Chains A and B, each alone.
Chain A
Amino acid sequence: MTSPDRPLFDVEEMEINFGPQHPATHGVLRVKMKLDGEKIMEAKPIIGYLHRGTEKLFETMDFPQCIPHTDRMDYVAAATNNQGFCVTMEKLLGITIPPRAAYIRMILAELQRLASHLVWLATHAVDIGAITPFFYTFRERDAILDLFEEYCGARLTLNTMKIGGVPFELPDGWLDRCSELVDSFNGHIEEYENLLTENRIWKQRTIDIGVVSAEEAIEWGLTGPPLRGSGVKWDIRKIFPYDRYDEIDFEIPIGKKGDTYDRYLVRMEEMRQSVRILRQCLDRLPDGPHMAKVPKVLRVKEAGMVYGAVEAPKGELGYFIVATEKATSPYRCRVRPPSFINLQMLPAMVEGHLIADLVAVIGTLDIVLGEIDR
């Protein structure tokens, strides 16, 4: 059967598709790979399967009508998407929002960050082979979604902010229920950490995988936990405080080596910091109106372009809005999606690793395809 001049196995490079329909790609991501055995020689992400032309649609709509469409981008963190758009519009229109509205926004955004990080932890752990954290994290995430549902009626596509404030006053007893969840949350984070942080398999699968140095991270434009994991102290909430984050006391956790394990630790610490922010917001929630006095029809005075950014769970979420004089809808609305720009680094992070590590790296980048493709 075999001749001495022909090896037993075919040793040519193999080309293989990962996705677009694969549970570990977190959506419809396709990665075209060249493999040498199990080693990845070349990886090329192919995206666009979920492109819905959101930026084109924005141009046809009035400013307030755009907000529900922002929900559909990063659909596991809708509140921060709303917040980004509203913050940018308030910059363009010159609106100051009342303190109570800002605090309610921060509460919603931090709850959303917790919910988003819980989804990340659950899927990341499942991808690597630890299925138990999934059940734990989704239990707490459901409690957060219940709070959202009680506040605005929706669980995922919240549409929970308005240009000039928030649409509703908090329901009776909501603060108590939120407070209860916040108080119990650090205990839950400990539960997850007991399962993973010192777990030998978890450490073997994440330490030294997908290492990114600080210089590389900046060069590739990473933001959010992937940038902080590489040791760069960067958080939009600190450097360009929006809403009332300048009144809140919190730390920016950073990693040392910039590997998958460091990014895991950074996100876990971020959840603790979110709990800390939530505690302060709940204690200090001021009285007053929940909406600024804004005109019924929002009209831009002078033509111009503004960029506003918020710290979304995935990184810097920016909106770049160009408006003409007296316009009631954006002439151009560009979304700077953190996942899109973070995903760009994927080939550099996985080349030379094994195919199983690709799954770990996709998990650690925490991508959402709705936001990448828009």
Chain B
Amino acid sequence: MSDDKPTTPPEETPTAEEKAPEQATAPEAEEKQEKQPLSDEEKAAKIAEAKAKAAARKAAEEAEPKDPWEEKPVPPAHEDASDDPDAVALGGEIPGVVLAADRFAGEVTLSVPADRIVDVCRFLKHDCDYKFLVDLTAVDWPEREQGRFDVIYWMHRFNDSKRLRLHAIVADEEPIQSVTEVWKTANWMEREVYDLFGIVFENHPGLERILTWEGFNGHPLRKDFPVEGIDTGAAIYPDVYPPGGGPPVEEADEEEGGAV
């Protein structure tokens, strides 16, 4: 290859090592050649030569595999996970409860109906040994028809270090049963979901706001809650600020010289 270097300058551009320019250099070479008074035969010969070189380089690349961090990322893909032993066990215990089973990036997600969530969790804890609830959270999809919120349960089994995710769809203003009697740790996680999404957990021992204060208007992690926040003055000081009113934000900024 190094012998050909001076004769074929367009091939040896600094970007020639990357993959994408391979296609780009060939038309470029054609253009340059067109400017010179070359006969068709010569042109064809040069193109053929460039193509052969490109093919040779590609073959060399394939023969010598690159390290994974030099390659393009390989994103995970969705797979069916209905053969997962826990999905099978759960479906056997409570027929029809597994609505969908999905494997993504090595993580199994089972979709279950929201009204059976306590039965499902109790079965998974006591019979499938998922003793540890790692996380409980929610996702807001305001446009979705089946129901607005996903409630997500993420649990861990100690014997074989396997993790399982449950996914239940809850409509707006619709409650879901609390799993605090199954795992005590769900207490604060459910309070957080209630606070930030406004999903009500029935039979929760003390469903109060946890990160925002009592009297706060709205649920901040809902998609329709503005990122810049809302004026909650009326809710905190009903005597000072009339409902729906409160001090305009711009004026307050000016008074304090924008130091907020």
Task: State the A residues within 8 Å of B (CB).
Answer: 47-48, 51, 53, 55-57, 59-60, 91-98, 101, 164-165, 218-221, 234, 239-240, 289, 292-295, 300-302, 304-307, 309, 316, 318, 320, 322, 331-332, 334, 336, 340-341, 344, 373-374
CB distance from B2 to the nearest CB of A (A): 25
Closest to A308 in B: B105
B105 contacts A304, CB within 8 Å? yes
Q: What are the residues of chain A within 8 A of B165 when measuring CB–CB?
A: 305, 307
* Chain B positions 6-50 with a Cβ under 8 Å from a chain A Cβ: none
A220 with B139: CB separation less than 8 A: no
B178 contact set on A, CB distance < 8 A: none
Report if A307-B107 is in contact (Cβ < 8 Å); known contacts: A92-B76, A316-B134, A318-B135: yes
Query: Separation in Å of the B124 CB from the closest CB of chain A?
Result: 15
Secondary structure of the B side of the interface?
loop
The listed residue (A234, A239, A304, A341) touching B76 by CB distance below 8 A is A304
Q: Which residues of B contact A57 (CB under 8 A)?
A: 227
Q: Scan residues 176-228 of chain B and give those whose CB is less than 8 A from a CB of chain A.
A: 183-185, 187-189, 196, 209-213, 220-221, 225, 227
Q: Are A302 and B78 in contact (CB under 8 A)?
A: yes
Stretch at the interface among B67-75, B112-120, B236-244, B251-259: B67-75
Contact of B227 among A56, A306, A316 (CB under 8 A): A56
Structural contact, B185 and A341, CB atoms closer than 8 A = yes
Complex contact A302–B134 (CB within 8 A): no
Q: List 5 A-B contacts (CB under 8 A).
A: A51-B211, A218-B132, A221-B134, A221-B184, A340-B188
Whether B161 lies near A56 (C-beta < 8 A) is no
Verify if B86 is at the interface (C-beta below 8 Å from A). no
Q: Which residues of B contact A (CB under 8 A)?
A: 67-78, 104-105, 107, 109, 131-135, 137, 139-140, 152, 154, 158, 161, 163, 165, 183-185, 187-189, 196, 209-213, 220-221, 225, 227, 229
The complex places the Cα of A245 from the Cα of B132 at a distance, in Å, of 23
Instruction: Give every chain B residue within 8 A of A95 (Cβ-Cβ).
Output: 69, 73
Closest 10 CB pairs of A and B: A221-B185, A292-B69, A96-B68, A301-B75, A94-B75, A94-B74, A48-B211, A98-B69, A334-B137, A94-B73
* CA–CA, A145 and B135, complex, Å: 32
Other-chain contact of B105, A51, A96, A306, A331 (Cβ < 8 Å):
A306
Question: How distant is A372 from chain B, measured CB to nearest CB, in Å?
Answer: 9
| A93 and B211 within 8 A (CB) | no
B75→A302 contact, CB < 8 A:
yes
Closest chain B residue to A92, Cβ basis: B105
Which listed residue (B75, B109, B210, B225) contacts A48, Cβ 8 A?
Answer: B210
Would you call A239 and B137 a contact (CB within 8 A)? no
Nearest CB on B from A332, distance (A): 5
Q: Is the beta-carbon distance between B134 and A47 smaller than 8 angstroms?
A: no
With CB as the reference atom, state the residue of chain A lying closest to B188.
Answer: A344
Residue of A316, A322, A340, A341 touching B139 (CB-CB under 8 A): A322
Q: Which of B71, B77, B132, B158 has the most CB of A within 10 A?
A: B132
Q: Are B131 and A218 in contact (CB under 8 A)?
A: yes
Known: A94-B73, A304-B76, A305-B104. 18 other contacts (CB 8 A): A48-B209, A51-B212, A92-B105, A93-B75, A94-B74, A96-B71, A218-B131, A219-B183, A219-B184, A221-B183, A221-B184, A292-B69, A302-B104, A306-B107, A307-B107, A309-B134, A332-B139, A374-B211
- Say which residue of A93, A101, A240, A331 sits within 8 Å of B73 (CB atoms): A93
Q: Is the CB of A220 within 8 A of B184?
A: yes
Q: Is the Cβ of A219 less than 8 Å from the Cβ of B185?
A: yes
A302 B131 Cβ-Cβ under 8 A = no
Chain A contacts for B107, CB-based, 8 A: 305-307
- Closest chain B CB from A303 CB (angstroms): 9
Shortest distance in angstroms between A104's beta carbon and chain B's nearest beta carbon?
13
Query: Residue on B with the closest CB to A372?
Result: B211
Q: A55 to chain B: which residues have CB within 8 Å?
A: 196, 221
Bound Cα distance from A218 to B156, whole angstroms:
10
A294 to B75, CA, bound (A): 12
- Provide the bound-state CA to CA distance between A292 and B185, in Å: 38
Residues of A within 8 A of B77 (CB): 302
